[in-house]
Amino acid sequence: MTSHLLLAMPGGSEWILIILAVLILFGGRKIPEFMRGLGKGMREFNDAKNNVKQEFENGVNDPKKPEAKS
């Protein structure tokens, strides 16, 4: 079972080919823009994740407030 997993993971020479293909496809100028966008997306995802976690913890820690009926 683990031998299938090891066959699926790229090795050193495969990573070099992947990086070379990315450089050829996108060029040297597009890669920094792509990385900035990727970093910004990761930051936004982590901020959203932290906000949801904090709201959940606040909801668990706060005593339940009676809801006003209209």
Q: What is the pLDDT of residues 12-70, one digit of tens each?
A: 889 899 888 888 888 888 888 888 999 999 999 999 999 999 998 888 877 666 565 65
The boundaries of the domain holding residue 52 are 28-59
The pTM of this model reads 0.51
Q: Is 69 among the domain residues?
A: no
Domain count, the chain: 1
How far CA 55 is from CA of 50, 60, 61, 63, in Å, comes to 9, 9, 10, 14
In angstroms, rounded to a whole number, what is the distance separating the alpha carbons of residues 67 and 17?
61
- With contact defined as beta carbons under 8 Å apart, do 31 and 23 qualify? yes
Predicted confidence at residue 70, as pLDDT, reads 56
Q: Is 52 among the domain residues?
A: yes
What would the mean pLDDT of 1-11 be, rounded to a whole number? 64
Say whether pLDDT at 5 is over 60.
no
Q: Is 35 among the domain residues?
A: yes
- 7: confidence class by pLDDT, cuts 50, 70, 90: low
In angstroms, rounded to a whole number, what is the distance separating the alpha carbons of residues 70 and 57?
28
Question: Cα-Cα-Cα-Cα dihedral of 54, 60, 62, 63, to 10°?
Answer: 170
